[in-house]
Amino acid sequence: MTVKLYRNARIFTPLDAGHPLRGKEQGRIEEYRRGAILAVNGLIEAIGEENKVLGSLSAYSVNEERDMEGACIIPGFVDPHTHMCFAKRREDEFKMRLDGLPYLEILKRGGGILSSVKAVQSVTEEELFCSTKKLVMAALAKGTTTVEIKSGYGLDLELEMKMLSVIRRISKETPLDVVPTFMGAHAVPAEYKANPDNFVDLIINEMLPKVKGQGIAEFCDVFCEEGVFSVDQSRKILKAAKGLGFEMKIHADEVHDLGGAGLAAELGVRSAEHLLAASEENLRAMGKAGSIAVLLPATAYSLKKPYARGREMIDWDVPVALATDCNPGSCFCESVPFIFGLGVMNMDMTIEEALAASTLNAAYAVSRQQKVGSLEPGKQADFLVLDGETPTALAYHAGNTSVLEVHKLAERVA
């Protein structure tokens, strides 16, 4: 048994009430001014004000004790939406976008997601593993201790499996907890352009059952967007996925208000992502259905689009989470501290709301709330030591991660 005691720390954490935090709840953060964490075999045994935690100590002989000298501790970040498994960067496209070519136009011309498919095709599984691992470890150093990673640069069974195998290896060979998502419905391959419904059928009849059979993905995600998958096609795919036992996610209303958020509400998906163009009516319906809005402000930044209405969504009682969307196209950013800053500065979220959004609500968005997302007894001792007095430092020290130390299961990993 390994027993570790961290004392004399200023600890900030949301508290898990058994559901994602929404409305006024999202801004409620517990603070232990002179706090302590007692971790047994990587799990939190006790946490709170130091005098109380010390009171519960008699049952244990402590192997390691650390005086944190008043340092600020928060839960490890959960990044609930990434496309970190890719083979090549698309810096040239970024320049094209800066010169005025729209993101969806690049895809229409066979670039964008489709160029990343060619790249995944052209590298070995080992090469794909190495590039993915490098990015995941960079995210870990910036405080991400749990990460969701999507497939979706394969678009056929073999290549999707190649990606999902790499994602599984990342989960085994890095300190992070990894949540795997199947996203065969990320774009329509060129050969199906004339008959996209045939590709939808292929996903439903062949890919989904095989992926499920391998037990290699937990979530199914669809890019519901003009020129990609319609609301009807997305509904078909997600219903089939749900029938097989996948949890559902949807890229909704990123560029156009197609009604993806309305579909999210109708199906009661776990989370709907992007939502830059979503209507108030559909967002409110999502909140009622219990779906989480996963907002990706670094994508709005990188696409030079107006930000999603994070402030309003919280006021409309929609639980909000933050994620990087880290991918080679619309947003090359693995830094949760950066999106935290954008959430506060450009979406008018409070520090407390942004903290809940990047920890507990993000954990709910990937169904990991029982293990991570807040610092409470029974959960993993995944925490960050910040360079600053409070989590405000994350937004205050612009362009800096403010993350000094990363601990996973009570082990220092970065």
Q: What are the residues binding ligand NIG (CB under 6 A)?
A: 83, 112-113, 116, 223, 251, 254, 299, 325, 327-331
What does 20 interact with, of ligand NIG, Fe ion, none (CB < 5 to 8 A by kind)? none
- Rounded to 10 degrees, the C-alpha dihedral 78/80/81/86 comes to 60
Q: CB of 155: closest distance to ligand NIG in angstroms? A: 12
DSSP state of 76: P
Residue 79 lies near Fe ion (rule: CB under 5 A):
no
* Two structure tokens written together for 54: 């010390």
Which of these ranges, 159-167, 284-292, 304-312, 317-325, lies near Fe ion under the rule CB under 5 A? 317-325
- At 238, the amino acid letter reads L
Q: Are 128 and 120 in contact (CB under 8 A)?
A: yes
Could you tell me which residues come within 8 angstroms of residue 42 by beta carbon, excluding any fewer than 6 positions away? 2, 380, 381, 409, 410, 411
Residue 325, interface with Fe ion (CB under 5 A)?
Answer: yes
Task: Name the amino acid, one letter, at 379.
Answer: K
Query: CB-wise, 325 or 352, nearer to ligand NIG?
Result: 325
Computed from CA positions of residues 383, 384, 390, 392, in that sequence, does the dihedral angle turn out positive or negative? negative
Minimal distance, residue 68 CB to ligand NIG, in Å: 37
Instruction: Please state the closest distance from residue 386 (CB atom) to Fe ion, in A.
Output: 27
β-pairing, 320-322 vs 383-386, is unpaired
Shortest CB 10 distance to ligand NIG, Å: 35
> By CB under 5 A, how many residues form the interface with Fe ion?
1
Nearer to ligand NIG, 46 or 339 (CB): 339
Specify the residue, 33 or 193, whose C-beta has the smaller distance to ligand NIG: 193
Nearer of residues 47 and 272 to Fe ion, judged by Cβ: 272
Q: How far is CA 378 from CA 43, 45, 204, 409, in A?
A: 6, 6, 38, 11
In the complex, the smallest distance separating the C-beta of residue 82 from Fe ion, rounded to whole angstroms, is 8
Min separation Cβ 141 and ligand NIG, Å:
23
Which CB, 50 or 221, lies closer to ligand NIG? 221
- Span from 61-69, 128-136, 226-234, 319-327 in contact with Fe ion (CB under 5 A): 319-327
**What does DSSP assign to residue 377?**
T
Angle, alpha carbons 179-184-189 (nearest 5°): 150
Q: In Å, what is the CA distance from 175 to each residue of 140, 190, 408?
A: 8, 38, 7
Residue 299 binds which entry of Fe ion, ligand NIG, none, with Cβ cut-offs from 5 to 8 Å by kind? ligand NIG
Binding site for Fe ion (CB under 5 A): 325
